[in-house]
Amino acid sequence: MIISSVSQGLLWGVLGLGIYLTFRILNFPDMTTEGSFPLGGAVAVTLMNNGTHPLFATLAGTLAGCLAGLVTGLLYTKGKIPTLLAGILVMTSCNSIMLMVMGRANLGLLDIKTLQDLFPFTKESNLLILGLIVVILVIATLIYFLYTRLGQAYIATGDNREMAKSFGINTDRMEVMGLVVSNGLIALSGALVSQQDGYADVSKGIGVIVIGLASIIIGEVLYSTGLTLLERLIAIVIGSIFYQFLIAAVIALGFNTNYLKLFSALVLAICLMIPVLRQKFFKGVTLSR
């Protein structure tokens, strides 16, 4: 169970890293997440059923997520549609696109080799190795990108859009780029999780934004402020693993799995309130002295 929770935490951690690019850096609440996540899985699983190599199928699923993010970015920057509404529009459209791609509401991977099957070890070990490789590659790529001039312009856009404009940064392009990269990572996570589960489903994206946010918030709660960028990205993945352990514990205790989404929302709400409760607690301690 430990290896399984860590493996799942690594794959879901990619989702958290994707959401971090928009939610934390751009301050952009992107609802496209709940469409791009299952879209990545739908495209990957469909291509694999048609004989495509799992690596190329996974990359195609990632590209599908990038396109979803591009549409959201264009609706927001060029169409001047509010952030939440732009994401909801694309999220809703993705549902129909997935039905067109798969031809049905869900599609399995019966007797089809997946990405983790390319490794010659046990199923659990293969999944763990795949998760480690993907997370290391994603974090290394993000660190490299965010420390380039383009990446610094992207961060500056999230910090202060008007000031970034005054420095000659095309903030619209930065926001579109962020949404493309973010949803590409989210779709990558969706493609990997679908291969792990053995099927793709159009309803798989419901509530995933809560899981991604929980990974980010738990990572921030577990570690103090003042982290470097690398440490912050690693903390998100650790938060995702910790969240999967919480889910595994809930299942082990015999709770009804139909209420996992409710549990996810409660965990996120509690984690969001911890800084406020901590501040009030310490304030009360100071006053009592």
Whether residue 274 is predicted with pLDDT greater than 80 in this model: the reply is no
Phi and psi angles of residue 34, each rounded to the nearest 5 degrees, phi first? -75, -5
Whether residue 207 is predicted with pLDDT greater than 70 in this model: the reply is yes
Query: Comparing 57-66, 86-95, 222-231, which segment has the lowest mean pLDDT?
Result: 222-231
- Specify the CATH class of 2-288 in words: mainly alpha
How many CB atoms within 10 Å of residue 229? 15
How far is residue 201 from each of residues 107, 130, 237, measured CA to CA in Å? 7, 22, 24
Asked if 126 and 116 count as a contact pair (C-beta separation under 8 A), the reply is yes
Q: pLDDT tens digit string along 139-197?
A: 999 999 999 999 999 999 988 888 888 888 899 999 999 999 999 999 999 999 999 99
pLDDT, residue 245, reads: 87
Q: pLDDT tens digit string along 24-49?
A: 898 888 899 999 999 999 999 999 99
Q: List, in sequence order, the alpha helices (H) in the chain.
A: 2-20, 33-49, 54-77, 83-102, 123-146, 149-159, 161-166, 171-197, 208-222, 229-252, 260-288
Average pLDDT, the chain: 88
Whether residue 10 is predicted with pLDDT greater than 60 in this model: the reply is yes
Domains in the chain: boundaries: 2-288
Q: pLDDT tens digit string along 89-118?
A: 999 999 999 999 999 989 998 888 899 888
